[in-house]
Amino acid sequence: MLTIGKITAKGQTTIPQEIRALLNVKPGDRIVWEANNGSVQVRRAEPLDMDYLHALEGTLSEWASAADEVAYRDL
């Protein structure tokens, strides 16, 4: 399946309905972006993904200051 979307000035895009149905995602669900050798795969986030993310966040506290939030807000 080939679908084409557009990225806004804020880096946002709409996931086409066919892809949302394929991934079985709805508003509020999380998705995972996996990049590898110039290609990107998107899939629905599973509970294990969220557990991993929360565990990883605990190791990144040195980059979680208010100054970091300001510096990286628009990325």
User: Quick one: which of 43, 23, 27, 44 has its CA closest to 35?
Assistant: 43
Looking at residue 17, its pLDDT comes to 93
Tell me how far apart the alpha carbons of residues 59 and 46 are, in angstroms, rounded to a whole number: 21
Looking at residue 35, its pLDDT comes to 93
Looking at residue 9, its pLDDT comes to 94
Whole-model pTM?
A: 0.56
Helices within 1-75 (DSSP H only): 17-23, 47-57, 66-72
From first to last of its 75 residues, what are the pLDDT tens digits of the chain?
888 889 999 999 999 999 999 999 999 898 989 899 999 999 888 776 666 666 666 676 676 678 877 887 777
Residues making up the chain, counted from first to last: 75
